[in-house]
């Protein structure tokens, strides 16, 4: 499997996974906001075990979903899947799956930084909020993944 960036976990059903949530949202103007709100909901539901910044994780999920909607080239009624996982290591994994197998200019998108006067955007925002970004083609499209490390684990 072709993959770029950090390790992509296409199948999150593993021993090291504490829990997994999955939703699908229509590819429309509400999907990024839905991904953001659901991330808050799921991470707050297990706040005893979640040690990442929930607002950062929510913003990252919104960025990944907005990116998928913008670039997947699917109609507004098409569903885009989001998966959230809490690993036993404390890492939070957010994966967005869309129907487009390629990720044109991934390397350039990962290197992009706003120049003075430029507005921050996309994957730069996700990286600034602590995400390690990767993608990999899968049978029905691709997975774009953000791994968010915990700020600190309790002793």
Does some domain include residue 15? yes
Residue 1 has pLDDT above 50, yes or no: no
The pLDDT-based confidence of 46 (bands split at 50, 70, 90) is confident
Q: Are 54 and 15 in contact (CB under 8 A)?
A: no
Does some domain include residue 154? no
Domain count, the chain: 1
Does some domain include residue 69? yes
Does some domain include residue 28? yes
Q: What percent of the chain has pLDDT over 70?
A: 88
Does some domain include residue 127? yes
Which CATH number do you get for residue 141?
3.30.565.10
Q: What is the pTM of this model?
A: 0.88
Q: Are 5 and 127 in contact (CB under 8 A)?
A: no
Does some domain include residue 115? yes
List the beta bridge partners of residue 95.
Answer: 83, 145
At residue 72's C-alpha, the angle toward residues 67 and 74, to 5°, is 130
Does some domain include residue 155? no
Instruction: Give dist(CA 72, CA 141) in Å, integer.
Output: 9
Does some domain include residue 38? yes
At residue 127's C-alpha, the angle toward residues 123 and 128, to 5°, is 115
Range 124-127, long-range pairs (CB < 8 A, 24+ positions): 125/59, 125/60, 125/63, 126/59, 126/60, 126/63, 126/64
**Residue 3 confidence (pLDDT):** 44
Instruction: Give dist(CA 132, CA 6) in Å, integer.
Output: 6
Tokens describing residue 140: 């029905």
Can you give the residue range of the structural domain that contains 117? 4-148
User: pLDDT, tens digit, for every residue of 107-136?
Assistant: 888 888 888 988 888 899 999 999 999 999
Q: Are 31 and 86 in contact (CB under 8 A)?
A: no
């Amino acid at each position: 499997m072709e993959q770029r960036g950090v390790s992509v976990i296409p199948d999150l059903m593993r021993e090291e996974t504490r829990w997994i949530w999955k939703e699908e949202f229509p590819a429309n103007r509400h999907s990024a906001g839905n991904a953001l709100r659901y991330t808050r909901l799921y991470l707050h539901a297990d706040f005893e075990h979640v040690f990442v910044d929930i607002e950062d994780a929510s913003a990252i999920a919104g960025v990944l979903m907005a990116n998928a909607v913008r670039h997947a080239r699917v109609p507004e009624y098409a569903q885009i899947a989001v998966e959230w996982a809490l690993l036993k290591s404390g890492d939070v994994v957010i994966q967005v799956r869309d129907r487009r197998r390629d990720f044109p200019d991934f390397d350039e998108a990962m290197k992009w930084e706003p120049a003075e006067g430029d507005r921050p955007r996309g994957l730069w925002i996700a990286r600034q909020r602590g995400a390690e970004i990767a993608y990999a083609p899968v049978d029905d499209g691709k997975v774009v993944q953000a791994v968010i490390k915990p700020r600190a684990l309790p002793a």
